[in-house]
Structure 1
Amino acid sequence: MDHDPGAVFTKARPDDDEPPSKLDVKQAMREGYRARRQRRALVGGAATAGVAAVAAVLALSLTGLPGTGEGPPAGQDFGFDPAHAGYPYAPQEEWAVPQPELDAAAREAFGELAVEGGFLDAGALDYELPSDDEVTEMMASSGRGYYEALTELGYVNLALHFEPWSVPGNGVGVHLRGYTASDGDEEAERSAFTLTALQPGGWTVEPGPVGDAQFPQHLLDDGPSWTDEAPEFTSEDSGDGRTVMIADHGCALEAAVVYPNGSALRSSWDLDCEGQGRELSVVDLRAAMLAMPETDYDTGELAAPESALPPGWAFDEEWPAEVEAELGASVTGVTDAVEAAVPGAELASANAVQLQFGGAQTVRRQYSTRYELPYIDANAVAVNLSIRYVLPGGWTEGLPAEDESGDAYLLSCGADKPDVCETTEVDGRTVATRVFDLGDNEARWVVVFDPAGWAVAVETSHAGPIEGWDLEALVSLAVSLPAPVYDPAAYEID
């Protein structure tokens, strides 16, 4: 069970008055990063000019001038649901900009509470960041961004100091972005608290399991997480367009504020779940959260994903034990079918497995078996047969299109490999096959997709031909296999 879901989100900044200068500092920083992508090294007189340019931008950005951000302004429609959208992957130096206003606001709102409540030592906030000149020189010499320069200078694990954060949206090819801060204790197994400010995109205000196994991700969970009991959960309108949510777990507090412009701030506080004796009231937490101002973010790259993996299952270490009876019954059925088709075949192994797929943080659930067949190939090696029942969730029927990723599919051909993939229909069911021959080595795959939502994948390989054991025989075996034993109602995915 994840007791530190707060480490999943990030970013916010004060609503300062418009400064006299019309320079969009953060946009200038981003343009500087993009220029460095094209020209990583500065030489001769260009190096001097580069240092001066970085220094000018950095000096302005560290004074706290607000960036306006790109994309639709607060309250304007994105043209798509931002909860189901995200940002392309990019190194942090290409999108992250200094957040001095966010740091200052967090210190003001949470600093005293964190110290008095026992979350921070009295001197934890008595630090100063390096001078503008130091950071400027490191940025120019390394061609890296502001936060990488701080790391190079040794400024890491600072309490209530926001740093860039980005995680992939589960299997959809986009990322969430933001900034995160904590107690800065690198030796602790879990942070005493985390603050995360989220840019619009990839998350939902609806409560649910917190973590990267879901997309969109949830800010807070109204179910059991820190303890075995559900928290006291409240959600209310603050009266100024913001939504405030609190989850009181007794030994821990979580809170989130959703702003009119589609951004959010989330925090998580471990009070006394393991006897730490820290203190923080719901009233004080709510007031501190509301003291944090709305932030404008650059949403210029926010877009809906072109494609998405089908929803799978969160990894559950208890699942294999829970389905032991169903696995046993399924193995009995498939073993009878294999022995009837290939007399002399022997079961070598069987287990329930959870396999991660594509870029997803979720898994596919499978009953996996391996059989030793009474065949010896041209290399004097015994031939094996693998049979996997794939239960509903986390996959798409059929074969991918020629220009489509195969991540969502149970079988696909490689564009640069000498293999052949085909689909056909047998008794109303889709059957996909893959044939891969390289020299004397032969490999065959067959996947049968059942209308009930499960599939069975059969695989074998050997050197040289084996009489009576060809693709036709493998297809005949695959379509004869009985249905796996499982509870269909438990495998309904919204």
Structure 2
Amino acid sequence: MNLQDDPGAVFRANLPDLTPPPAEFDLDRIVRDGHKIRRRQRAVLGGASATSVAAIAAVLALSAGVIPDGILKEDDELPPTPSQELEAEPFALAGYPWPGDDGFGDPAEAEALTAAGREAFGDLLIATGLFEASDFESVVNEPSEAEIQQYAEEVGITLEQAELELSYVEDDGKFVFTGQSTAGNYGQVQLYGYRAWALAAENEDPAGGRVLDVETLLPGGWTAEPGPTSKQFFPQHLIDDDVDEFATTELDDGRILYTAVDGCVVRHAVVYPNGSTLRAAWDGGCQDGDPAHPVDREAFEAAVLAMPELDYSAEGLHEIDPVEVPTGWLATDDAWWEWAEDGAQSTAADVREALAEIAPGAEVFEPWASPAPDSFFDGDEVVLHSYHMIGSLPYETTIDTTTGDASVDLTYRLPGGWLPGFNDADASGPYIADCDQGFTCTELEVEGRTAYVAERRETHEPDAASGAVEPWFEGEYEVTVVDPEGWAVSAWVQFGNEDFALSAEELAGILARLPAPTYDPELEPVVPR
């Protein structure tokens, strides 16, 4: 998100295209010219609700071909930000595609980082008294010659193949790097990297937080310009300079080291000449001012600088024109929890009352709100505020061998952190609805609201391997209705009979008649300054 003084101006200038073509990525031009970006202003004058109303009114009006007065004017320009322009990294306004369910990561890169990380930070962790040297060793099953011989004969493979299959890691040990993909600009792109951490305690106690957290990032989606590290910002800042001590050091080999000390937390970020980066945080666990797990700052800096610069592949990196998304909610911002559970209960009661008239016989079971407060939340993560409820609709279907009313998963999305529209097929993004492969997707106007309807109907051929001796059918609806006030309600329904009596359009009609959720429209997201 690009934080601005005037949310209305943001959406006048940046109405999103719901089906954007892929941007051409001229790497040479970007490297040569760079991008001019503005330092993101650290204040939001309009709350998530107000901003969402402006965004949704603009997007829905655009999709309908009508622009109300006051939304868009020919000569409108964004107000200048108060911060100074700077020459950004060449990949700041770029990122990667959604990596799919398998996620991102190269095992060889992860293994190299794990080996280097244990070598660099192992002694510091052992010195805390929380870890032993054996914690940072992987346990590998090493088969005997007799086991290899027996397995090779049983399976009918060579001894070499048998040894390879029987030699596997039983326990990875601690402080292991794994690939990760994190959302940039609320999912418009992904940031790729690797991450490892060491916990003070393996339990749910708040004291069991991360003593050490180390993350690498490939080029794309971040800026070394110091600022709030919240994922509400794009590009994302590597390190925050609003701390007790901050320093920048340019090293002779072309690396740049950033150091931030805030209380008992010491953070470093290293930007490598190849455009990748690493950042590390040591949390001393201050209790009444005294760190429970102090670290020698010089030794920690040396460990960070000992980490290698890997030559990552930047395949899939592409430039984007960031869309403006209403400010999202930090995972650690639990002010809403004062009324969230009551809001979910009140909303469910209103839904039951409405369904009694709209679809007599429908049921709604115990609701819940998410996310609930959690001491292990990453303080920079952004979440959606939601109410969830499971129920049934009075339309008979058969799933496998069970016949009964169709189950329905209902979700209310409160304002903040999303835009109306469909995400690209099989991708994660800032839009409220998905249109995955195999679905037919349409947009409808229903009862003064906009519905995003995704429908899949598929007949499967017999498959002896799975036990299906006859053709069989499955269908599902994923329908989301967006209200101009900035909230949305969605439903997922699965059915197993082709003559299912409820159509996707009729489901949209039911959702469009449901009441607004109970929430505090004046509550604003906390935005780090």
Q: Match for residue 169 of structure 1?
A: 182
Q: Match for residue 14 of structure 1?
A: none
Equivalent of 1:298 in 307, 311, 319 = 311
Aligned residue identity for 1:381? G
Pair 1:180–1:457, CA change in 2 (3 A): closer
Matched position secondary structure for 1:352: strand
> Equivalent residues in 2 for 1:14-93 (5 A)?
80-82=90-92, 84-85=94-95, 89-93=104-108
TM-score (normalised: structure 1): 0.53
Higher relative contact order (CA 8 A, sep 6+): 2
Aligned residue identity for 1:336? E
How many angstroms does 1:414 deviate by?
Answer: 5.3
Pair 1:271–1:239, CA change in 2 (3 A): same
Partners of 2:395 and 2:169 in 1: CA distance: 64
Deviation by residue 1:34-70 (Cα, 9 ceiling, x = unmatched): xxxxxxxxxxxxxxxxxxxxxxxxxxxxxxxxxxxxx
Aligned residue identity for 2:491? V
Equivalent of 1:236 in 236, 247, 253 = 247
Deviation by residue 1:376-414 (Cα, 9 ceiling, x = unmatched): 56875234454321223555533456xx33544555555
The answer to whether 1:253 aligns with 2:266 is yes
Contact 2:223/2:237 (8 A) holds in 1: yes
Q: Match for residue 429 of structure 1?
A: 449
Q: Match for residue 337 of structure 1?
A: 354
From the two aligned structures, give the one with the greater strand fraction. Answer: 2
How many angstroms does 1:276 deviate by?
Answer: 7.6
How many angstroms does 1:294 deviate by?
Answer: 10
Partners of 1:237 and 1:94 in 2: CA distance: 28
The answer to whether 1:348 aligns with 2:365 is yes
Partners of 1:339 and 1:266 in 2: CA distance: 54
Matched position secondary structure for 2:518: coil
Partners of 1:296 and 1:198 in 2: CA distance: 11
Aligned residue identity for 1:447? T
Q: Match for residue 282 of structure 2?
A: 269
Q: Match for residue 66 of structure 1?
A: none
> Equivalent residues in 2 for 1:11-410 (5 A)?
80-82=90-92, 84-85=94-95, 89-93=104-108, 114=124, 118-119=127-128, 166-170=179-183, 171=187, 174=190, 176-177=192-193, 193=212, 200-205=219-224, 206-209=226-229, 219-220=238-239, 232-238=243-249, 242=256, 244-250=258-264, 252-258=265-271, 262-271=275-284, 273=286, 279-280=294-295, 284=298, 288=302, 292=305, 297-298=310-311, 301=314, 304-305=317-318, 315=331, 322-354=339-371, 363-373=383-393, 381-393=404-416, 395-400=418-423, 404-408=425-429
Q: Match for residue 446 of structure 1?
A: 479
Matched position secondary structure for 1:349: coil
Contact 1:84/1:304 (8 A) holds in 2: yes
Contact 1:345/1:374 (8 A) holds in 2: yes
Contact 2:386/2:414 (8 A) holds in 1: yes
How many angstroms does 1:186 deviate by?
Answer: 11
Pair 1:423–1:343, CA change in 2 (3 A): same
Deviation by residue 1:316-340 (Cα, 9 ceiling, x = unmatched): 6966664123223323333332222
Partners of 1:443 and 1:286 in 2: CA distance: 53
Q: Match for residue 457 of structure 1?
A: 490
Taking only aligned residues, the RMSD between alpha carbons, in angstroms, comes to 5.8
Pair 1:265–1:315, CA change in 2 (3 A): closer
Pair 1:482–1:192, CA change in 2 (3 A): closer
Partners of 1:374 and 1:100 in 2: CA distance: 58
Deviation by residue 1:290-343 (Cα, 9 ceiling, x = unmatched): 9x4897653662663477997865556966664123223323333332222234
Which consecutive residues of structure 1, in runs of 5 or more, have no partner in the other structure? 1-70, 128-140, 224-231, 356-360
Pair 1:154–1:186, CA change in 2 (3 A): farther
Partners of 1:412 and 1:218 in 2: CA distance: 28
Pair 1:441–1:193, CA change in 2 (3 A): closer
How many angstroms does 1:457 deviate by?
Answer: 1.6
Partners of 1:198 and 1:471 in 2: CA distance: 42
How many angstroms does 1:81 deviate by?
Answer: 2.7
Pair 1:156–1:333, CA change in 2 (3 A): closer
Pair 1:76–1:153, CA change in 2 (3 A): farther
Aligned residue identity for 1:369? M
Matched position secondary structure for 2:356: helix
Instruction: State how many pairs are aligned.
Output: 373
How many angstroms does 1:152 deviate by?
Answer: 8.0
Deviation by residue 1:184-227 (Cα, 9 ceiling, x = unmatched): x99997775566666544544334457x998766544678xxxx
Contact 1:366/1:390 (8 A) holds in 2: yes
How many angstroms does 1:351 deviate by?
Answer: 1.9
| Percentage of identical aligned residues | 24
Q: Match for residue 481 of structure 1?
A: 514
Matched position secondary structure for 1:421: strand
Aligned residue identity for 2:247? E
Deviation by residue 1:114-170 (Cα, 9 ceiling, x = unmatched): 49x94489x969x9xxxxxxxxxxxxx999xxxx9xx989998699xxx86642233
Matched position secondary structure for 2:367: strand
Pair 1:165–1:219, CA change in 2 (3 A): farther
Pair 1:412–1:259, CA change in 2 (3 A): closer
Pair 1:411–1:198, CA change in 2 (3 A): closer
Deviation by residue 1:327-381 (Cα, 9 ceiling, x = unmatched): 23323333332222234544333222459xxxxx865432223444556568752
Matched position secondary structure for 2:366: strand
Partners of 2:237 and 2:328 in 1: CA distance: 16
Partners of 1:460 and 1:154 in 2: CA distance: 40
Partners of 1:370 and 1:400 in 2: CA distance: 24
Matched position secondary structure for 1:381: strand
Partners of 2:387 and 2:171 in 1: CA distance: 49
